């Protein structure tokens, strides 16, 4: 069964829209995903919340970037590596990191994820995509895009 707003062939990257590191990741994907293989959604958006709920993930604490490809859900380091293999050369070469045991990759991922706000900062609210990039976001294709989302974890 597919999550809401997802088609079988979709590759959707869910990210924390108030995290500056995560937002930089989204900008990186927009820049290098020339074939537009990936769709983006913030976890705070209605579409992101529906997808998180479908998979039984927390709706207010975001501890991992997620990749949904059809019916499959990937998280943490595996999600990052799968996303990189979707990009054009040279990014798929980073799949060499699959040789590192998943428990080690995920431990390293978690160190950054747990400290991302203190290391990189966070926005007061989710930044909206520019009109030029709005079509890259899942919400742009399925619903009117809200003006902003409040951060549930702002300290």
In this predicted model, what pLDDT tens digit does every residue of 83-112 receive, in sequence order? 999 999 999 999 999 999 999 999 999 999
Predicted pLDDT at 16: 94
pTM: 0.84
Predicted pLDDT at 133: 77
Predicted pLDDT at 67: 97
Say if 39 falls within a structural domain: yes
Instruction: Give the count of domains, the chain.
Output: 1
Predicted pLDDT at 7: 86
Say if 148 falls within a structural domain: no
* Low-confidence spans in the chain with pLDDT less than 70: 128-129, 139-155
Q: Which residue has the tokens 């990052």?
A: 80
Predicted pLDDT at 126: 76
List the one residue out of 35, 49, 19, 78 whose CA is nearest residue 142. Answer: 49
Domain that includes residue 130, residue range = 11-142
Say if 151 falls within a structural domain: no
Structure tokens at 2: 């597919």
Say if 154 falls within a structural domain: no
Predicted pLDDT at 150: 42
Residue 133 gets which letter from DSSP? T
DSSP string, 49-97: HHHHHHTT--SS---S-EEEETTEEEEHHHHHHHHHHHSPTTGGGGGGG
């Amino acid at each position: 069964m597919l999550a809401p707003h997802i088609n079988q062939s979709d590759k959707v990257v869910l990210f924390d829209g108030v995290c500056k590191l995560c937002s930089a990741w989204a900008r990186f994907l927009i820049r290098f995903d020339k074939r537009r293989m990936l769709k983006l959604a913030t976890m705070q958006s209605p579409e992101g919340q529906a997808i998180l709920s479908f998979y039984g993930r927390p709706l207010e604490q975001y501890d991992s970037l997620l990749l949904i490809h059809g019916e499959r859900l990937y998280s943490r380091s595996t999600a990052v590596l799968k996303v990189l293999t979707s990009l054009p050369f040279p990014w798929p070469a980073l799949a060499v990191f699959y040789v590192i045991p998943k428990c080690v990759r995920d431990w390293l991922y978690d160190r950054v994820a747990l400290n991302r706000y203190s290391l990189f900062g966070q926005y007061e609210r989710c930044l909206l995509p520019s009109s030029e990039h709005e079509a890259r976001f899942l919400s742009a294709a399925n619903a009117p895009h809200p003006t902003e989302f409040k951060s549930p974890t702002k300290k």
